[in-house]
Amino acid sequence: MYKRRIMKDRLFTLAVSVLGLLALAPLFHIIYTVTVRGVPAILEAGPSFFTEPPAPPGSERLGGIAPALLGSFWLALISTMLGIPLAFLVGLFLYEFKESRLARLVRVFTMSLLEIPTILVGMLVYTIVVIPLGGFSVAAGAIALAIVMLPYVATYVERALDSVPATYREAALGLGLSRARTSLIIAGIARRGVLAGFLIGFAKAIGETAPLLFTVGSARNSLNPSPFEPGDAVPLLVFQFIATPYENWIKLAWGAAFVLTVTVLTVFIALRVVVREVRL
């Protein structure tokens, strides 16, 4: 009996360690795969990878992903400008009025928004923005991304505010400050946590694909800087190129996937640096 229990425990410890590490293993393999296939592609394309549009399908040359990079830049900029202030206010509301019934409802809906397939957000924006405006545009894609990032940023902001010790809040209120002023002071104290929330939003904005499928328009050769024209995005290019039969486009897709991975990892490292120091 006793020996069997110890055996079971050892087996369990072993199994859990192996399975737990197995759960994490794909991450390393993904980063490895994207690197060993993406870096050679970028090297083959040379500097034009960042300055040119893709070469025609099946051509010997690779060309580059410049329009997608430009599009992703615009998308990230506009969507964070739209989404982050909005999400910040939602987070502020959730924190400041957390005891109200409305806040509880808002929380449920914000969490539910997290579970709405992002492709449906693309369909929604297609229906209410793209069709009325008469065509695809970077702005439409940015709206879709702003919607997608909203729940992530809002819940992160709320958590950051929540982690500030209650004494600060009481001190501010005790000085006779209004709740609006108080909550802004709290946000100031929790600024690193809030910033971390913004970074999460940014990471979402550059990494998401599905919301862009029917909104941005895959204008693969356009270096047009207007947000009201169709554009391209890095993840969108990856999605549409990786499954083609054209060698040069597949290579571009791997290179673009590498760029995307590096960008997101950089944001995550920044996030760690930001949050680690405050321990919020």
Partner 1 sequence: MAQKRPAEARSDKLFYYALIPFASTAFLIILLTLFVLTAKGLPALEFYGLKVLTSTRWLPNEFDPEKAVYGLLPAIAGTLVTAIIAVVIALPLSLSLTVLVEELAPSRVRDILSSLVDVMAGMPTIVYGVWGIGFLAPILAPIYSGLQSTLGSLPLFSCEPTGGFSILTAGLLLAIMIIPFIFAVVKEAYRAIPATYREAALSLGMTRYEYTRLLMGMIKPAIIAGVLLGFGRAASETVAVALVVGNAFNLPLCIIGPGITVSSLIANQFGEANLYPLMQNVLYLGGLVLLVLGLASNFLGILMLTRVRVRV
Partner 2 sequence: MEKAVTELKPPLEVQIRELRVKLEGREILKGVSLSAKPGAVTAVMGPSGSGKSTLLKTINRLIEYYPGVEVEGDVVVGGVSAFEMDPYLLRRYVAMVFQTPNPFPHLTIYDNVALGPRIHGLAKSKKELDEIVRWALEKAMLWDEVKDRLNDYPSKLSGGQQQRLSLARALALRPPVLLLDEPTANIDPVNTKKIEEAIIGLAREEGTTVLIVTHTPQQAARISDYIAVLYEGRLVEWGPTKEVVLRPRHEITRAYLKGEI
Q: Site map for partner 1, 62-91, x if CB under 8 A?
A: ------------------------x--xx-
* Rounded Cα gap, residues 149 and 273, in angstroms: 21
Could you tell me the two tokens for 164? Answer: 């500030």
Shortest CB 46 distance to partner 1, Å: 22
Shortest CB 153 distance to partner 1, Å: 12
- Binding to partner 1 by residue 232, rule CB under 8 A? no
Could you tell me the two tokens for 175? Answer: 């000085």
Q: Where are the alpha helices (DSSP H) in the chain?
A: 2-45, 48-51, 66-96, 101-115, 118-125, 131-133, 138-162, 166-174, 179-189, 191-207, 234-242, 247-278
**Could you say which of partner 2, partner 1, none residue 226 binds, taking C-beta under 5 to 8 angstroms by partner kind?**
none
Collapsing DSSP to helix, strand or coil, 175 comes out as coil
What amino acid is encoded at 86 in this protein?
Answer: L
* Rounded Cα gap, residues 17 and 204, in angstroms: 31
Binds partner 1 (CB under 8 A): choice among 77, 113, 223, 278: 113
Shortest CB 48 distance to partner 1, Å: 22
Among residue numbers 2 through 61, which ones bind partner 2 (CB under 8 A)?
Answer: 2, 5-6
Among residue numbers 155 through 214, which ones bind partner 1 (CB under 8 A)?
Answer: 176, 178-180, 200, 203, 206-210, 213-214
Shortest CB 2 distance to partner 2, Å: 6
